[in-house]
């Protein structure tokens, strides 16, 4: 029965054109980044850094490296936008359209309905990250050869892997990114359970994320930055570190789990108590 | 099938339903009447566990909806004023989705219900291609899928053309006769309620102002249409003589208690009025409803 209900939610979700906006934008953004790297001097700085550290650039300016480079802006900016768009729609859009009233004339508990909808949101979040990872490598492979992975964030990250290890780290980063996507989706889902328009739920979720990011970067809050959601959302990039900071990842996973449970609890409580009217 | 006991609902500081007691017996077509904002939809929302009552008890199919919502709604189907579906999916897919919130439903049962409502051949088309009438039929199909014993219809004829309204009326009668359903019908259409329902409740500003059978409605007052040489003077004198209780349209009068139609004619003729016409007027639900509204407005 749960499977049937989840399948139905997925039909509803993936039957809508707007669900695919995120996938489409990922395709466009990834192809744009690949073409910029292929037909401009954008890779020169990376080559210099590699050469300066004693590595052969030709081994590491690869499809895996380009796919990883394009991952950063997309994961920071676009992924939260599209998962919160879907998360914000899950309940509020049905309430706005009036289909929620039809559903709630059925003998299904509100909590079960929410859980089924949330699971559909999780499937979407995982699918988005999967698409991001697979499309990234696929498009980069058209213009760049297969090779090692070079990940570099000035002052934070400098890692060089051979192709096999690089692929493992790239895959691991996507696994954790799926958790980030799920968390942002759950945040939007929580707001969606309130009596608000779907757009408002999305905007509230994104505002919460941006506010966390801004506060976290104010020097005054530096000592307590680990209390902010955004400090833990980017745990995926630690999978690209050498060596992987396992304790730090577990810490973030635990705290994000706490955030997710809190968002779900608040959402369920609000939804359980509210009146559903036409 | 439905019982509301001392139900009250307040939205913020605004009371939507006050001191509501209602009983819908099994096998009846029960009408709920009232102006927009009278509290009908709030009552229906409470019956379906969509709106939580502030006070009181709502019992559907023997179960308290607030505490045992799932059990109470197991044998309930509902249709709302504007039949809204997932437009981008087919009618068949919509029915599958909605029926699975109750229990797994076989394809044979889906086909049976689609056939009953007359949508066979169009079930695989996207709902966005459906006319309003077809959507209403689809709404009926989703309500019938769980084999309900109770059907709650919240203004089902809203937005339908005259042909559609006639079809809906015919369908409601079929539902009761062929399937033996208890039906709660909330409607603005007084003639629809009059033709279909055996009992009615009238709501006004969140308060139930009447509950009874249609026979009670018709038998409550005798109305006569009286045309005289001096209508205004005749009206004043009939009032003073306490022969009429109420008047409408200048020549339509409700007889006072114990007054008979012929007494009015005798009274007027004796006082020199020429009586051109006197007909007993069968009170319609509309007359009754309007008199209730007027009386209620008078109190306020």
The complex scores an ipTM of 0.85
- For residue B96, the chain A residues in CB contact (below 8 A) are 8
A171 touches chain B (CB under 8 A): no
Whether B197 maps to a domain, the answer reads yes
Cα separation of A29 and A136, whole Å? 10
Please tell me which of the candidates B51, B81, B101 has its beta carbon nearest to residue A277: B51
Percent of chain B with pLDDT over 90: 43
> Could you report the average pLDDT of every consecutive run of 10 residues in chain A (278 residues)?
90 92 91 90 82 80 92 91 96 94 93 96 96 94 91 84 93 96 97 96 96 92 90 92 92 96 97 89
What are the chain B neighbours of A108 within 8 Å (beta carbons)? 70, 101-102
Q: Is residue B196 part of a domain?
A: yes
Q: Is the pLDDT of residue B230 over 90?
A: no
For residues B138 and B170, state if they share a domain: yes
Q: Which residue has the higher pLDDT, B28 or B214?
A: B28
The tokens 């579906």 sit on which residue?
Answer: B85
B43 in a structural domain: yes
B82 and A277: CB-CB below 8 Å?
A: no
pLDDT tens-digit series, residues A145-196? 999 999 888 878 888 999 999 999 999 999 999 999 999 999 999 999 999 9
Pairing of strands B29-34, B199-204: parallel
User: Is A18 touching B (CB cutoff 8 A)?
Assistant: no
- What CATH number is associated with residue B263? 3.30.70
Tell me, yes or no, whether B228 and B184 share the same domain. Answer: no
Chain B residues within an 8 Å CB radius of A278: 41, 80-81
Task: Give yes or no: residues B265 and B159 share one domain.
Answer: no
Q: Residue B153 domain-assigned?
A: yes
Could you tell me the sign of the dihedral formed by the alpha carbons of A64, A69, A72, A73, in that order?
negative
DSSP secondary structure string for all residues of B115-165: HHHT-TTTTTSBGGG--HHHHHHHHHHHHHTT--SEEEEESTTTT--HHHH
Residues β-bridged to residue B2: B24, B60
| B114/B193 same-domain check | yes
Question: How large a percentage of chain B has pLDDT more than 70?
Answer: 97
Dihedral (C-alpha) B246, B252, B257, B262: value to the nearest 10 degrees?
150
Supply the pLDDT for residue B299: 61
One domain, residues B7 and B20: yes
Judged against a pLDDT cut of 70, whether residue B300 lies above it is answered with no
Rounded Cα distance between A97 and A261, Å, is 28
pLDDT on residue B220: 64
Residue A194: both structure tokens together:
């309130």
Q: Which residues of B touch A276 (CB under 8 A)?
A: 45, 50-51
At a CB cut-off of 8 Å and minimum separation 6, what does A244 contact?
A: A169, A172, A238
CA distance B72 to chain A (A): 8
Q: Are A106 and B148 in contact (CB under 8 A)?
A: no
Q: Are residues B59 and B175 in the same domain?
A: yes
Tell me if B89 and A12 make a contact (CB, 8 A cut-off).
yes
**A106 vs B45, B51, B101: nearest CB:** B101
Q: Are residues B27 and B94 in the same domain?
A: yes
Phi/psi of residue A17, nearest 5 degrees: -65, -35
Average confidence (pLDDT) over B64-73: 93
Range of the domain at B38: 2-216
User: Which residue of chain B comes nearest to A101, CA vs CA?
Assistant: B50
Q: Is A222 on the interface with B (CB under 8 A)?
A: no
DSSP label of A234: G
* Domain end position, chosen among B216, B235, B267: B216
Residues of chain A positioned with their CB less than 8 A from the CB of B152: 105
Our CA angle for A160, A161, A162, nearest 5°, is 135
Give the model's pLDDT for residue A247: 94
Pair B175, B31 in one domain:
yes
- Whole-number Å distance between alpha carbons of A102 and B155: 14
Domain count, chain B: 2
Among residues B200, B216, B232, which one ends one of the domains? B216
Both B157 and B46 in one domain: the answer is yes
Q: CATH number of the domain that B178 lies in?
A: 3.40.50.300
| Chain A residue with minimum CA distance to B145 | A106
Residue B299 is assigned to a structural domain of this protein: no
Q: Which of B15, B43, B50, B152 best tests the A interface by mutation, with the highest count of A CBs <10 A?
A: B50
In a domain, B68, yes or no: yes
Read off the pLDDT of residues B163-196 as tens digits, 9 standing for 90 and up: 888 888 888 888 888 888 999 999 888 888 888 8
Widest CA span of chain B, in angstroms?
78
B145 and B259 together in one domain: no
Chain B residues within 8 A of A1 when measuring between CB atoms: 100, 103-104
Shared domain check, B229 and B187: no
Average pLDDT score over chain B: 88
Q: How far apart, in whole angstroms, are the C-alpha atoms of residue A159 and residue A152?
A: 6
Determine, for residues A104 and B49 on separate chains, whether the beta-carbon distance falls below 8 Å: yes
Predicted local confidence at residue B30, as pLDDT: 94
SS (HEC) of B46-69: HHCCCCCCCEEEEEECCEECCCCH
Q: Where are the domains of chain A?
A: 2-273
B82 contact residues in A (CB cutoff 8 A)? 98
Contacts of B139 in chain A (CB under 8 A): 102
Q: Which two tokens stand for residue B92?
A: 């068949």
The residues of B whose Cβ lies within 8 A of any Cβ of A are 11, 41-42, 45, 48-52, 69-74, 76-78, 80-82, 84-86, 88-89, 93, 96-98, 100-104, 139, 142, 146, 152
What are the tokens at A227? 């209390």
Determine how β-strand B150-154 pairs with β-strand B182-186.
Answer: parallel
- Alpha-helical (H) ranges within A104-197 are 110-143, 163-192
Q: Give me A177's structure tokens.
A: 């990114």
Distance of CA A56 to the CA centre of its chain: 32
Q: Are residues B115 and B147 located together in one domain of the fold?
A: yes
């Amino acid at each position: 029965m749960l499977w049937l209900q989840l399948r139905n939610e997925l039909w509803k979700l993936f039957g809508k054109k707007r669900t695919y906006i995120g996938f489409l934008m990922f395709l466009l953004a990834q192809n744009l980044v690949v073409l910029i790297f292929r037909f401009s001097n954008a890779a020169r700085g990376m080559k210099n850094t590699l050469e300066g550290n004693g590595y052969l650039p030709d081994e590491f300016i690869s499809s895996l490296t380009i796919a990883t480079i394009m991952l950063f802006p997309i994961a920071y900016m676009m992924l939260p936008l599209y998962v919160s768009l879907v998360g914000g729609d899950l309940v509020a859009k049905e309430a706005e359209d009036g289909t929620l009233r039809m559903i709630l004339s059925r003998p299904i508990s509100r909590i079960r309905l929410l859980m089924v909808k949330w699971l559909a949101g999780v499937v979407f979040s995982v699918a988005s990250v999967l698409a991001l990872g697979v499309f990234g490598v696929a498009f980069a492979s058209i213009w760049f050869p297969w090779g090692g992975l070079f990940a570099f964030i000035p002052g934070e990250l400098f890692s060089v892997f051979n192709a096999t290890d690089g692929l493992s780290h790239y895959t691991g980063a996507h696994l954790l990114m799926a958790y980030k996507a799920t968390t942002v989706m759950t945040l939007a889902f929580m707001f969606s359970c309130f009596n608000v328009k779907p757009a408002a739920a999305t905007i509230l979720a994104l505002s919460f994320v941006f506010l966390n990011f801004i506060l976290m970067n104010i020097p005054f809050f530096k000592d307590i930055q680990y209390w902010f959601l955004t400090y833990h959302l980017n745990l995926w990039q630690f999978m690209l570190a050498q060596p992987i900071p396992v304790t730090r990842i577990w810490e973030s996973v635990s705290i994000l789990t706490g955030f997710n449970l809190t968002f779900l609890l608040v959402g369920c409580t609000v939804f359980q108590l509210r009146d559903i009217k036409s | 099938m439905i019982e509301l006991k001392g139900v009250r609902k307040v939205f913020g500081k605004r009371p939507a339903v006050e001191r509501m007691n209602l009983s819908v017996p099994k096998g009846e077509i029960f009408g709920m009447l009232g102006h927009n904002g009278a509290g009908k939809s709030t009552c229906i929302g409470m019956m379906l566990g969509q709106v939580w009552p502030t006070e009181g008890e709502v019992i559907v199919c023997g179960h308290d909806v607030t505490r045992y919502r799932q059990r109470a709604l197991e044998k309930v189907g509902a249709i709302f004023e504007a039949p809204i579906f997932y437009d981008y999916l087919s009618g068949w897919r919509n029915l599958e989705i909605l029926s699975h919130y109750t229990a797994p439903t076989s394809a044979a049962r889906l086909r049976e219900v689609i056939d009953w409502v007359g949508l066979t051949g169009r079930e695989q088309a996207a709902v966005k291609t459906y006319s309003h009438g077809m959507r209403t039929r689809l709404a009926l199909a989703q309500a019938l899928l769980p084999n309900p014993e109770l059907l709650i219809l919240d203004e089902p004829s809203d937005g339908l053309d005259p042909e559609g309204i006639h079809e809906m009326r015919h369908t409601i009668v079929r539902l009761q006769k062929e399937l033996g359903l208890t039906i709660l019908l909330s409607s603005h259409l007084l003639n629809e309620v009059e033709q279909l329902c055996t009992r009615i409740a009238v709501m006004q500003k969140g308060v139930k102002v009447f509950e009874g059978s249609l026979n009670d409605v018709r038998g409550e007052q005798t109305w006569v249409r009286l045309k005289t040489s001096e209508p205004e003077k005749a009206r004043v004198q009939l009032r003073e003589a306490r022969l009429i209780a109420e008047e409408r349209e200048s020549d339509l009068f409700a007889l006072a208690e114990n007054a008979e139609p012929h007494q009015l004619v005798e009274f007027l003729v004796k006082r020199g009025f020429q009586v051109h016409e006197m007909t007993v007027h069968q009170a319609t639900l509309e007359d009754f409803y309007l008199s209730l509204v007027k009386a209620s407005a008078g109190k306020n």
